[in-house]
Amino acid sequence: MKLGKHLACDPAVHRVVAIDGPAASGKSSVAHALAKQIGFAYVNSGAMYRAVTWHALQHAISPGDSAALIRMLENSCIDCDFEDNESRILIDGINPAEHLHEDRVNDEVSTVSSIPRVREILVAKMRAYALDYDLVMEGRDIGSVVFPETPYKFYIDASPEVRLRRRVAQGRRDQIAARDHADSSRRASPLVLADDAHVIDSSNLSIEDVVGEIISRLKIKGMIR
Ligand code: C5P
């Protein structure tokens, strides 16, 4: 793993800042900027589900065929590491980063991520990251399921109109309403607001504003000075 020295912290206690929220709420940009500012490693858990989805599509496995998909996953070599303090996933030695936002991946990722065994495999990888490093991890269930014990939980939201505008501005086609519905209504680890998460509505805030608010909370909680 290529990480800055500042991340090689106390091996006994690795802190996790959990950032959850719906699609296009701004959480990736916020989590990325926050991690940089506080010197933690950044983990994009959505990219892990996207990578598995892409891999299945490459192997002509229908995301609806959960048995075939699980078989594929259990026979694949999944390496999760860091590059420049950002999480990276390689499946059978291939880094699919440039394909993760293709339309076909957007369309199928919620189906793949609703399969409990897929979640089990990827959540184990997410937790393994925290064995070695302090993390800012973003996703849907980081505060509720992956690291429920962390005291540093945030839920970033934005109005549906703003979220749609953000995707369009990124030049991406993404059925965010359909994905949100699927992610919130699935049985396995749905997107929920953890009881103890601090909610930030980013509709009228810049990335810097949201990062600033999170840092203020982390200071109040004594995590950073
Ligand atoms: O965050 P992003 O929009 O890239 O996530 C893509 C998809 O991955 C989500 O729509 C969801 O289906 C799945 N996901 C998940 N749990 C997470 C992160 C992402 O189910 N922790």
Q: What is the pLDDT of residues 74-132, one digit of tens each?
A: 999 999 999 999 999 999 999 999 999 999 999 999 999 999 999 999 999 999 999 99
Rounded (to 5) percent helix, strand, coil in the chain: 50, 15, 35
Closest residue (by CA) to atom 14 of ligand 1?
46
163 lines ligand 1 (CB under 6 A): no
Q: Which atom of ligand 1 is nearest to the CA of 106?
A: 6
Please determine, for residue 6, whether its predicted confidence score (pLDDT) is greater than 50.
no
Q: Are 190 and 184 in contact (CB under 8 A)?
A: yes
Q: How remote is the CA of residue 157 from the centroid of ligand 1, in Å?
A: 14
Strands 86-91 and 78-83: antiparallel
Among the residue ranges 24-28, 38-42, 163-167, the one predicted with the least confidence is: 163-167
Across 5-27, average pLDDT: 75
Q: Which residue from 45, 111, 126, 144 has its CB within 8 A of the most atoms of ligand 1, so it is best to mutate?
A: 45
Tell me the whole-structure pTM to 2 decimals: 0.93
Please determine, for residue 10, whether its predicted confidence score (pLDDT) is greater than 80.
no
Q: What's the pLDDT at 82?
A: 96
Q: Which residue from 113, 125, 127, 150 has its CB within 8 A of the most atoms of ligand 1, so it is best to mutate?
A: 113
Across 204-213, average pLDDT: 97
pLDDT band at 8, cuts 50/70/90?
very low
- The pLDDT tens digits for 126-158 are 999 999 999 999 999 999 999 999 999 999 999
- The pLDDT tens digits for 33-78 are 999 999 999 999 999 999 999 999 999 999 999 999 999 999 999 9
Q: What is the DSSP string of 51-95?
A: HHHHHHHHTT--TT-HHHHHHHHHTS-EEEEEETTEEEEEETTB-
87 lines ligand 1 (CB under 6 A): no
